[in-house]
Amino acid sequence: MNRVDLADVEEHSEHTPPHMHVVHLNVGGQRFCTSVATLTKYPESKLAQWFDGPPKLPKDAQGHFFLDRHGEYFGAILEFLRSERLPDNDIPQVHRESLHYNVTVLAKRLEESPVLFGEMVGRQRFLARVPHYKENIEVLIRIARAEAVASRRSTVVLCVLRTEEDSACYDNALSGLRANKDSVVTFGPWKAGPTAADLLDCVQRDIQSQGYTVHVRPYVMEKTFLARSYNFFHTLTFTWW
């Protein structure tokens, strides 16, 4: 049976079972009131580890147990512990918090939702097959920031090589490029179904998720015989203000 120190919970009858003791929480400045039974519903969770026995969290000035996390998302986790109801909003954020608290039952339920299923099973598995995808995103942002001196926009050239055959043509295609060839960021090739347009959509989405305003457009090559044969290059424009 769960145990808590009487001084750490709301006053109650001496006949109140320990698992029904009331607990007051301060999560990122938001206050919650629940029971030990609710917090310890899933023994593998951090919440159960903290409250199965003498509570293992610090208190705020009002005597509430303090968690330095996002209170709004914690409310959705607490609601799931109470009623197994899944959230309607902020599903990626609640999923992240459920992983933090190790509420694995909730995390798996959320991963089956349409919002996360496509992202985790489809898009992320595709991007895992694109060599150096995450590193290239960081490089694109770093180059754009370096070129943002006294300018409203920064433009970076990226190259998408869908297949090994595209890679074999890269050097010839590069001859029609007017931009600094040393700063071109190259993606691919990859062995998966999504197209070059799908990859560009992922690049734009992932950079925008970091707060940047970006637009992708085809790069206009020099009008040479070789250049007309390739459409590997695109411009990624960052708008700063």
Over residues 101-113, the pLDDT tens digits come to: 999 999 999 999 9
Average pLDDT over residues 205-217: 96
Q: Which of 6-10, 29-33, 228-232 has the lowest mean pLDDT?
A: 6-10
Of 219, 237, 215, 220, give the one whose Cα is nearest residue 160.
219
Domain coordinates of the chain in residue numbers?
Answer: 6-112, 133-239
Checking 107-111 for CB contacts under 8 A at 24+ apart, the result is: 110/86
At residue 197, does pLDDT exceed 50? Answer: yes
At residue 2, does pLDDT exceed 80? Answer: no
pLDDT score for 235: 95
Mean pLDDT of the chain: 89
pLDDT score for 11: 45
At residue 41, does pLDDT exceed 70? Answer: yes
Give the 3-state DSSP-derived string for the chain, with helices as H, strands as E and coil as C. Answer: CCCCCHHHCCCCCCCCCHHHCEEEEEECCEEEEEEHHHHCCCCCCHHHHHHCCCCCCCECCCCCEEECCCHHHHHHHHHHHHHCCCCCCCHHHHHHHHHHCCCHHHHHHHHCCHHHHHHHHHHHHHHCCCCCHHHHHHHHHHHHHHCCCCCCEEEEEEEECCCHHHHHCHHHHHCCCCCCHHHCEEECCCCCCCCHHHHHHHHHHHHHCCCCEEEEEECCCCCCCCHHHCCCEEEEEEECC
pLDDT score for 178: 78
Q: What is the pLDDT of residues 56-99, one digit of tens each?
A: 999 999 999 999 999 999 999 999 999 999 999 999 999 999 99
The model's confidence at residue 120, banded by pLDDT at 50, 70 and 90, is confident
Of 61, 133, 71, give the one whose Cα is nearest residue 97.
71
pLDDT score for 224: 57
Q: What is the pLDDT of residues 157-186, one digit of tens each?
A: 999 999 999 999 998 888 878 778 888 999
Tokens standing for 50?
């903290």
Average pLDDT over residues 17-44: 91
Where does 6-112 sit in CATH, by number? 3.30.710.10
Cα separation of 214 and 208, whole Å?
A: 7
